[in-house]
Structure 1
């Protein structure tokens, strides 16, 4: 009889952050071989989440079979001066053996501060007995600073509260998150040099597009130009394989124009970035929970795709891109919101509305974003050990 290797236990915490959830680890708690990037680390995270799963369900793992619930986070005491914690995010593919390290998860950022505090990664003298702990996060995927304002009661992270976030069923404590200098990467915030381009997609069409690197590289389209209203819910697009294929083709050509890939074939291995989103002027619609969203409640409507599917709410990083683009007169996002200068927008997404603030400045012929800010919430769902077979890495 073949000898089977027993399961191993890895300390882990399962946390909801914003409208996402993921499995959080302290780097020191991972098996030694996985404390550095590489195949062993990827294999461990794939097995934890339950990927690759040809059934698309992640039944044999912690994943929830959507891009919002197939996520992993590794935290460590920060290697950067004036930061508390290094935050590394891995987006785990569902049906492929692939972990994408190319971007950040803005939603889970709300949970990073809380986990860092309770995991002993923030110096005790920075944590007030009551009030707000300002956690300085170094986002290691995109090399950016994020500041989380985490409420503290009696020396502990306060998770309960009455802050409501559309896309999350129950209220919780509010965590304000500031994305500093959110333009992604070294290059220009508008990698093509234009606020609006004509994006030619062979076999699909030519579309007006705002391609921006802020929060996460994002390609914004006008809903009307691609045959949508901007008020669609998930089923309208996720139930249409031809539409999904069309969006993936647009995404690939946009990635090429943004210089994120050198060859179209590389897009398949870079699913997490860039994102594709489409926007339209404010329009009333009924959200996925049945809540009526009135035209006067919002500045514009936006829908975004993540990992090949329409997202159930809005990715936090894409919300940063929306806020930043809205602050810059002339982008498609700004025009959908009515044009002009603005420091905040409230946009409608499939689950409801979200307000995001941003500040942008025009300096030496280039737009730069100084920061974007939004409120999220986070809650620990379960903590202890996650188990995987000892021979899975």
Structure 2
């Protein structure tokens, strides 16, 4: 019996922030995968090694976590004032689908660096030494991201002394600006409002679980924030405290589904199964001393609040970049649960504790005619090429 040979596709494996994924130039994909559809989805699933009932992704590039089950496509942008279009796919580990409903803030860092590595930025805009400003169109959510990528000798400077909790080794700092990160209805999600319910805080009724105060915000990525104490946690939990309990994960999924319904992201509970990437669910608590997953002590005085967030059904080992944008945005708006937990009042930056350490994110919020708007959110990450060449997939896989 004849079997299809493997095909080779140019690809780059990159870390961005506390995530990593497989990056492609659109022009390098097989022709039938250059447009959205089943062929592209099947290709990315096979590249990553999904769906895998063992949950290990042994036969692919994935690392069996939401942070490492990702693919990215970049191409030169045809939009004015933008260098590249960036499209992100969150590949389900154990199910046969790719979620295109949101962005990955961590890999946004790598998108800026990859744009230079891949020759997608006009050489005239790249300094010999200094910082290259890469203007990225985030195609999943219709937003602009500005990446300030360090350059040495005309190439991306990847090594440096910038330390990011959740990443073992230091690297060069890349500053990201998420412009107008709140939902403007471009994708039809969330009703075109930063607060889809119209409220800074709601009473969220979760069938079979209870009713909790919640801030539901569409900024960076749609996120449902609840108080840790209200759901029986301290806010100092690490991954194993949550992910080792199927009961706890099922409870969080019920909260997420209830939030998705209230935010207008889905119309029926069963739709949430194919929209695992959004919304995120996060719980917040006032500052407390705790020991991070690396063994480093985080003192209560070092942070404004603690935040734990789930991604693709599991507690994240650090913090998703887009969720950090949501945290910074919510913290800047007086009256949200995030803002109140951080001490209330007006603020333009917040430092929060997560399972791997701490992270600072800034946001500029204004209010007009009773509506809140955020002009930008800013944070620093890093990125590095781990491997480049080709990925191989069976020719009949897509």
Measured against the shorter chain, the TM-score band is over 0.9
Indicate the residue corresponding to 1:173 in structure 2.
Answer: 172
1:302 aligns to 2:307 (yes or no): yes
Q: Distance in 2 between matches of 1:369 and 1:176?
A: 18
Equivalent pair of 1:185/1:213 in contact (CA under 8 Å): no
1:196 aligns to 2:201 (yes or no): yes
1:316 aligns to 2:321 (yes or no): yes
Q: How does 1:267-346 map to 2 (within 5 A)?
A: 267-346=272-351
Q: Distance in 1 between matches of 2:157 and 2:291?
A: 32
1:229 aligns to 2:238 (yes or no): no
Q: Distance in 1 between matches of 2:177 and 2:329?
A: 12
What secondary structure does 1:236 align onto?
A: helix
Q: Distance in 2 between matches of 1:55 and 1:260?
A: 30
Q: Distance in 2 between matches of 1:372 and 1:90?
A: 22
Q: Number of aligned pairs?
A: 392
Q: Distance in 1 between matches of 2:59 and 2:285?
A: 40
Indicate the residue corresponding to 1:250 in structure 2.
Answer: 255
- Listed one character per residue, the Cα deviations across residues 38-93 of structure 1 (whole Å, up to 9, x for unaligned) are 00000000000000000000000000000000000000001211000000000000
Runs (4 or more) in structure 1 with deviation over 6 Å come to none
Q: Distance in 2 between matches of 1:98 and 1:39?
A: 9
Equivalent pair of 1:85/1:136 in contact (CA under 8 Å): yes
Indicate the residue corresponding to 2:151 in structure 1.
Answer: 152
Q: Distance in 1 between matches of 2:287 and 2:272?
A: 32
Normalised by the size of structure 1, how large is the TM-score? 0.99
What secondary structure does 2:260 align onto?
A: helix
- 1:265 Cα shift? 1.1
What secondary structure does 2:295 align onto?
A: coil
Normalised by the size of structure 2, how large is the TM-score? 0.98
Q: Distance in 1 between matches of 2:299 and 2:370?
A: 38
- Listed one character per residue, the Cα deviations across residues 214-263 of structure 1 (whole Å, up to 9, x for unaligned) are 00000000000000011100011000111100000110010000000111
Q: Distance in 2 between matches of 1:181 and 1:208?
A: 26
Residue segments in structure 1 that go unaligned for 5+ positions in a row: none
Give the root-mean-square deviation of aligned CA atoms: 0.5
Indicate the residue corresponding to 1:9 in structure 2.
Answer: 8
What secondary structure does 1:15 align onto?
A: strand
Equivalent pair of 1:142/1:185 in contact (CA under 8 Å): no
What secondary structure does 1:246 align onto?
A: helix
What secondary structure does 1:261 align onto?
A: coil
Equivalent pair of 1:90/1:101 in contact (CA under 8 Å): yes
- Listed one character per residue, the Cα deviations across residues 247-303 of structure 1 (whole Å, up to 9, x for unaligned) are 001100100000001111111110000000000011110000000000110000000
Residue segments in structure 2 that go unaligned for 5+ positions in a row: 186-191
What secondary structure does 1:60 align onto?
A: coil
Indicate the residue corresponding to 1:44 in structure 2.
Answer: 43
Indicate the residue corresponding to 2:116 in structure 1.
Answer: 117
- 1:185 Cα shift? 4.4
Indicate the residue corresponding to 1:69 in structure 2.
Answer: 68
